[in-house]
Amino acid sequence: MRLIVFINGLILIFGGVLMAIEAIAFGNESGVFLLASALSVTLGALLALSSYSDFPELRTRETFMLTATVWLTASAFGMFPLYMWHLSFTDAFFESMSAVTTTGSTIMSGLDTTPHDILLWRGILQWLGGVGFIVTGMALLPMLKVGGMQLFRTESSDQGEKELKSSTMFAAATFWAYLLLTVACMIVYSIGGMGIFDAIVHGLTTLSSGGFSNYDASFGHFDSPFLQWSATFFMACAGIPFAWYIHAARKREFGSEQVRAYLAVVGVAVLLLTIWLSAFRGFDILDALRLVAFNVVSAVTTTGYATTDYTLWGGTAAVAFFLLTAMGGCTGSTSGGAKMMRWIILVRSLKIQIYKIRYPHVIMRLKYEGKTVSDNVLDGVMSFFVFYIFTVAVLAAALDMIGLDFSTAISGALTSVANVGPGVGNIIGPAGNFASLPDAAKWVLFFGMYVGRLEMLTVFVILTRGFWREAV
């Protein structure tokens, strides 16, 4: 456990150094970053120095604990400047957890006049959260065999590690792909008319699938078809596994079942909603296509940007977006949600079960990417969906008991667990935020964002009695 404390101490030191750099670069506009930096570095140094020793190799139990604690530690150093600025403890922790999990739910308003260093800090937290989840999703969760993720380790190895000779080179290549796409997004935004600062922050929050904006109107502040189409493209890129880019660049091969499924879901949803808006709501076909494409991609990738309040399009659109938020992008991307790989396995498993009702003695093997899916992987995927539904239901019930209306409770629970951002309804919909919710509701959603980003089982296994036994 000393190693876990040591690593968390280093994370606090790293966060403090980032704050100091930002304070120097932006002149400490908000007046809080130097003090927050000193606090974070001091706490981190105390943890690191008090726990430093010859560390044993990480066992499974310690790996679970490390995975679960680093996100809380990142949220802790992330909230220091926000709390010292003027947010309450609850609001600062909520905003920070929303940032590092790339959820994008916000309690802040008046963003148009918020100090630039605070806005940039939110963007940095989301971008680092995107990096963190790529590492978690590609390395730790597959190793821990959470929710069938060991299947992704096999897939990503086939598409990257064998080509780059080592997992270290593969991780570095993945980071560079993430960084280069982020820089490209910033450049395109700048060409499209954004100011340099806006382009930087929105580039950080686009590729991380985070969705924080510098304006209360979110991306709708930029009344530019070019910028909206650009954001649609880069949000879609963020929903694709970063291992896929490495494989495509080196082998010129673009096949991937989950990427095809992801693009198909987005394409069908955009087509149907565009036709519906044009035919039944009187939208111009090109305007409808642009608005639908942007908001559908934002929902599926769980980015959470909005250009309009799509709940005003009618009940059909509201239900469609509610369902799309549960889909998620691809495994190995920065997106939240259940992920396309799991949906593919779930659908194929259901098809096999239905077929066996008609032909009970037939032997059929579930395959993914041409390989047979083991029972362990299938059990992991099914367990994930059970916990996913269970968690959303419990959180929704808790929010209802706190006093939220039904639509706010159910959509709030789903948007937190899926790490989407906006929910449905007048309060937390695309045109609202989470500021007016009671503190108790914010802590419920805080927990939902946390367990959702760590795929539920990573956190819940720590709460079991067997986890704390000596033998793991």
**Digitized pLDDT (tens) for each residue of the chain, 472 residues in all:** 788 899 899 999 999 999 999 998 877 787 899 999 999 999 999 999 998 876 666 677 777 888 889 899 999 999 999 999 999 999 999 999 999 999 999 999 999 999 999 999 999 999 999 988 777 656 555 555 555 455 544 444 444 444 455 556 777 788 889 999 999 999 999 999 999 999 999 999 999 999 999 999 999 999 999 999 999 999 999 999 988 888 887 776 677 899 999 999 999 999 999 999 999 888 999 999 999 999 999 999 999 999 998 888 988 888 899 889 889 999 889 999 999 999 999 999 999 999 988 888 888 889 988 888 888 888 888 989 999 999 999 999 999 999 999 999 999 999 999 999 888 878 998 888 999 999 999 999 999 999 998 888 778 888 877 777 754 4
In degrees, rounded to 5, the angle at the alpha carbon of residue 201 between the alpha carbons of residues 198 and 206 is 110
What six digits make up the tokens of 298? 């934002």
What six digits make up the tokens of 272? 């149907």
**Alpha helices by DSSP H, 58-166:** 60-85, 89-100, 116-135, 141-144, 150-156, 162-164
- Residue 65's identity, in one-letter code, is M
What six digits make up the tokens of 192? 């499209």
For the entire predicted model, the pTM comes to 0.90
| Contact predicate 107/449, CB 8 Å | no
φ, ψ dihedrals at 60, nearest 5°: -60, -45
Residue count of the chain, please give it.
472
Pairing, β 371-372 against β 367-368: antiparallel
